[in-house]
Amino acid sequence: MKPKLYMSRRIPQIAIDNLREVFQVKLNPFERPATREELLQEVKDVDALVCQLVDNVDKEVIDAASNLKVISSYSVGYNNIDVDYATSRGIAVCNTAGVLTESTADLTWALIMATCRRITESEAYLRAGNFVAWEPLLMLGMDVYNKTLGILGMGRIGQAVAKRALGFGMKLIYHSRDINPKDLPFAATQVTLETLLRESDILTLHVPLTSQTRHLIGKDQLAMMKPTAVLINTARGAIVDEPQLIKALAEKRIFGAGFDVYEQEPFIPKELLALNNVVLLPHIGSATIATRTNMGIMAAQNAIAIISGLQPPSQINVLP
């Protein structure tokens, strides 16, 4: 008898096919996230769970899954999983680290360009029939070339974003734990968080969401930024204090912002939606065909490896 697996949302078919070679796979049949009640019910007798970032895999869910051996998340982030409790129960927790680095870096740059040059605002202006002639002061934005790019978190994605900045002749500064400038394949200056905030023309966030990084960018930090600065977030929404961001944007205390993630996702405050100096995307950082397919393959490989007693491609926790 094959072990059982529950998948809380359909992922690319190749990953499902790979899993079916090893598991009895049950899929959430709906084109929406599994509800809390569905998740608690479906994990009761499974050996493996393939979950999404929107699934709160907490103590209650883990306790409901008495046979669970592996939680394989279809994501890099895992702040939605109680990793410590899973570890105490001898359950492996895996993610898709490394697979979505380049596509997320590309999307970060799309937001940088769109925000600095007011691309979405300009397109809306044109589509509304307002473009009647070239104007010398129409939609003036911020240059990117030769500016200072500040990177908060110089991990895989932060470094991929930095490499793309080289073609724009940018000065690179960063604030990150345990990343020595000598270990980077490009020239970048390590600075304090305060210096990063004060000197960045464009500040992009690439840290995980933890108790230490929640609201790391708040009222005081936004006040340190240049009035011409742009803030980009493709990491996690709660790294930024959203109400304080809205105030800073509304009062033009920073030039603009580009966000792919939100504090209470998928809810986005109407006050944020009403602003024209922010570019808002629906969490599509990894949304390319190749990347989402590779994420699915790795999520499947992780679950299969654990159930087969092998080392998975990407395991977060160390089991006792």
Of the candidates 89, 117, 215, 283, the residue annotated as catalytic is 283
Q: 10, 38, 198, 265: which is the annotated catalytic residue?
A: 265
Closest CA to 108 of 20, 232, 215: 232
What is the SS3 assignment for 313?
coil
Q: 36: which DSSP letter?
A: H
Q: What are phi and psi of 128, to 5 degrees?
A: -80, 0
Given a contact cutoff of 8 angstroms between Cβ atoms, the answer to whether 18 and 300 are in contact is yes
Cβ atoms of 9 and 42 closer than 8 Å: no
- Distance, CA of 258 to CA of 173 (rounded, Å): 19
DSSP letter at 34? P
Q: Are 214 and 168 in contact (CB under 8 A)?
A: no
- Cα radius of gyration rounded to whole Å, the chain: 21
| Of 9, 118, 236, 292, catalytic | 236
Tokens at 235, concatenated: 């990491």
Active site residue 271: no
236 among known catalytic residues? yes
C-alpha distance from residue 54 to each of 9, 46, 289, 306, 307 (Å): 10, 19, 20, 23, 24
The closest of 78, 12, 82, 106 to 236, measured between CA atoms, is 78
- In three-state secondary structure terms, 219 is helix
Strand stretches in 95-195, DSSP E: 148-152, 171-175, 189-190
What is d(CA 42, CA 301) in angstroms, rounded to the nearest whole number? 21
- CA quadruple 81, 286, 107, 32: dihedral positive or negative? negative
Active site residues: 236, 265, 283
